[in-house]
C-alpha cells in the first residue's frame, strides 16, 4: 500500500488544529454559561465544517451550502419554547457562526477565522452586559393571573397597581374558568419595579396565582 494513502498535508493539519482551537474558544464560553451546545459540541461543529471544506477543495466540489443546511438542523434542535418564552437562540447562532469559522479555517483564511472568533467572543461577553442592562431597565413579564372570583374590577385593580409601580400593561386575553377570572396581561418596565409588583401580588387577597 502506498504511503501517500496515509499522507496528510502539513497545512491541512494546521487547518484541523486551528478549527479545534477556534471552536474550543467559542465552546468554553457556552460551557461556562451552561448552555445546551457546550465545549465539545462547538468544537465538533467547527472541526466538521473545516473537514467538509477540505474534502470539497480536494474533490473540486462545493459543499458550503450543504454545511449551512446541516447546521440549520442542529441549530433548530437547541431552541426551546416554554410557555411564552423562547430559549436557545443565542446558542443556535453560535452553532451557525462556529460552522462559518470552520469553513473559513478549512479554506485557509486564518485571519478571517481569528477575527470572527474574537468578534464572536466580544459579542457574547461584552455585548451581553449591555443586553442585561437594557433588559433590566426595560424588562417584560407576561402574567397569567387567576383571580379568586369573577369580578372584572379585579383586573382594573391590578392595572392600577401596575401604574403605581411605574409600569405599563397590555391585556392579551381574558376568560372565565372554574368560577375564576383569568387574565393574560403583559407588563413592561424596570425589573426592580416588576419585582416589587410581584411582592405585592404575592400577598394580595384578590389574586389566586400569577
Spatial contact of 95 and 78, defined as CB atoms under 8 Å apart: yes
The pTM for the full model equals 0.61
Domain carrying residue 68: 3-136
Q: Do 148 and 124 belong to one domain?
A: no
Buried b vs exposed e over 156-178: b needs ≥16 C-beta within 10 Å? eebbebbeebebebeeeeeeeee
Give the side-chain half-sphere CA count within 13 A for 58.
10
| Neighbouring C-beta atoms of residue 122, cutoff 10 Å | 10
Name the residue with cell 468554553.
28
Same domain (yes/no): 205, 172? yes
Q: Which of 136, 165, 183 is the last residue of a domain?
A: 136
How confident is the model at residue 163, as a pLDDT? Answer: 93
Q: Is the pLDDT of residue 3 over 60?
A: no
Residues 142, 122 share a domain: no
**Per-residue confidence (pLDDT) for residue 195, from 0 to 100:** 92
* pLDDT, mean of residues 93-110: 87
120 with 191, same domain: the answer is no
Quick one: pLDDT at residue 132?
A: 78
Report the C-alpha gap between 88 and 33 in whole angstroms.
12
Looking at the structure, tell me whether residues 65 and 18 fall in a common domain: yes
Is there a single domain that holds both residue 69 and residue 129?
A: yes
Number of domains in the chain: 2
* Top-confidence residue, 136 or 64: 136
Based on the domain organization, do 124 and 164 belong to the same domain?
no
Bridge partners (DSSP) listed for residue 209: 146
Co-location of 95 and 191 in the same domain: no
CATH value at residue 177: 3.30.70.260
Residues 118 and 151 placed together within one structural domain of the fold: no
Q: How far is CA 118 from the centre of its chain?
A: 19
Q: Strand locations in the chain, DSSP E?
A: 80-82, 85-87, 139-147, 168-177, 180-189, 207-209
pLDDT confidence of 60, banded at 50, 70, 90?
low
Q: Among 106-110, 125-129, 199-203, where is mean pLDDT lowest? A: 125-129
Give the Å distances, CA to CA, from 205 to 30, 179, 196. 43, 16, 16
Task: Measure the N-to-C terminal CA separation of the chain; round to a whole number of Å.
Answer: 72
Condensed to tens digits (0 to 9), the pLDDT of residues 180-194 reads 888 898 999 998 999
Report the length, in residues, of the chain.
210
Q: Say if CB 58 and CB 50 are below 8 A apart.
A: no
Higher pLDDT, 169 or 2: 169
Q: How much of the chain is in helix, strand and coil states, percent to nearest 5?
A: 60, 20, 20
Amino acid at each position: 500500500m502506498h504511503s501517500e494513502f496515509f499522507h496528510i498535508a502539513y497545512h491541512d493539519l494546521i487547518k484541523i488544529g486551528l478549527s479545534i482551537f477556534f471552536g474550543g474558544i467559542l465552546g468554553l464560553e457556552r460551557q461556562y454559561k451552561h448552555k445546551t451546545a457546550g465545549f465539545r459540541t462547538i468544537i465538533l461543529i467547527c472541526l466538521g465544517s473545516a473537514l467538509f471544506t477540505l474534502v470539497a477543495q480536494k474533490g473540486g466540489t462545493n459543499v458550503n451550502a450543504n454545511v449551512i443546511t446541516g447546521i440549520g438542523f442542529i441549530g433548530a434542535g437547541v431552541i426551546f419554547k416554554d410557555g411564552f418564552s423562547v430559549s436557545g437562540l443565542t446558542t443556535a447562532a453560535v452553532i451557525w457562526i462556529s460552522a462559518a469559522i470552520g469553513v473559513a479555517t478549512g479554506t485557509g483564511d486564518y485571519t478571517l477565522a481569528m477575527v470572527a472568533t474574537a468578534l464572536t467572543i466580544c459579542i457574547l461577553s461584552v455585548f451581553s452586559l449591555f443586553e442585561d442592562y437594557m433588559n433590566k431597565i426595560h424588562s417584560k413579564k407576561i402574567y397569567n393571573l387567576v383571580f379568586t372570583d369573577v369580578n372584572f374590577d379585579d383586573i382594573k385593580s391590578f392595572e392600577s397597581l401596575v401604574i403605581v409601580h411605574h409600569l405599563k400593561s397590555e391585556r392579551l386575553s381574558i376568560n372565565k374558568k372554574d368560577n375564576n377570572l383569568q387574565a393574560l396581561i403583559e407588563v413592561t418596565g424596570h425589573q426592580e419595579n416588576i419585582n416589587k409588583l410581584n411582592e405585592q401580588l404575592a400577598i394580595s387577597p384578590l389574586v389566586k396565582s400569577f
